[in-house]
Amino acid sequence: MENREKIGILLAEDHVIVREGTRELLQREADMEVVGEASDGEEAVELTRRLKPNVVVMDIAMPKLNGIEATKQIKRTHPATVVLILTAYDNDQYIAALLDAGAAGYLLKNVRGDELIDAIRAVFAGESILQPSIARRVIEQLRPTTLQLEEALTVSPLSERETEVLKLAAKGVSNRDISQRLYLSNRTVQSHLSNIFKKLVVASRTEAILYGLRRGWFTMEDLP
């Protein structure tokens, strides 16, 4: 990604009036810059390649290429770019498919403007924007089969402490609470998460959690 002072955002939305309204909202924020706008999924993939945004705010239902496939292609070629879904569809199957594709968060279009702004900042910082109850439900759908686990890489590149941090993150525990539980500073927790993301080549908690689950480093039963 390009080094820039502001969070570079690409809007992928086929409804012009929604896109314009979202752009105006985000451009008011001193730490945000809308670097591009896409009206379909193919354009979103191409503009991500050219503009290298930090965050893509992605709709699901778009012409040419839907948000799920566009997210897959973006994460395949630009794993450090974070994808935040903003959609009208509240459906476990869509959420599961998008998490599987590499999305870091999922918001409905009835959210308030300040909630969207907070969510963009959060996913940019590596947080997951998904209620823990919803996350657990949809991650259950993505649980690997025994055969997939046997074929997966079983040796984790993470240290014992990093694995501990990732397990707590998988439970929906905030960075501040992780630091209290493990008697670490907040900066140390952020450093551990940053190292986890680098080792796994992911950009968010959600991606890291799914990566670990798929390789059998921990299971849903480990996460009461």
Indicate the pLDDT class of residue 144, thresholds 50, 70 and 90: low
Instruction: Please determine, for residue 12, whether its predicted confidence score (pLDDT) is greater than 50.
Output: yes
In sequence order, which residues have a C-beta less than 8 Å from that of residue 162 and are 6 or more positions away? 192, 195, 196, 199
- Answer whether 126's CB lies under 8 Å from 193's CB: yes
- Residue 71 has what pLDDT? 92
- pLDDT (tens digit per residue) in 79-101: 889 999 988 877 667 777 777 78
Mean pLDDT computed over 125-134: 69
- Residue 147 has what pLDDT? 46
7-138 against 145-219: fold identical: no
Mean pLDDT computed over 95-121: 85
* Edge-to-edge strand ranges of the sheet holding 55-58: 32-38, 7-12, 55-58, 82-87, 105-108
- Residue 22 has what pLDDT? 92
Q: How many CB atoms lie within 10 A of CB 30?
A: 7
Instruction: Please determine, for residue 9, whether its predicted confidence score (pLDDT) is greater than 80.
Output: yes
Mean pLDDT computed over 128-141: 63
- Residue 215 has what pLDDT? 76
Provide the pairing of β-strand 82-87 with 32-38. unpaired
Q: Which of 16-20, 41-45, 100-104, 219-223 is the least confident region?
A: 219-223
- Residue 135 has what pLDDT? 60
- pLDDT (tens digit per residue) in 19-33: 999 999 999 999 999
- pLDDT (tens digit per residue) in 160-219: 899 888 888 877 778 888 899 999 898 898 899 889 888 888 877 778 887 877 777 776
- pLDDT (tens digit per residue) in 47-66: 999 999 999 999 988 888 88
CATH 3.40.50.2300 matches 7-138: yes
Mean pLDDT computed over 130-138: 60
- CATH of region 145-219: 1.10.10.10
- Answer whether 55's CB lies under 8 Å from 47's CB: no
Listed by start position, the domains of the chain span: 7-138, 145-219
CA dist., res. 224 & res. 173, Å (int)? 12
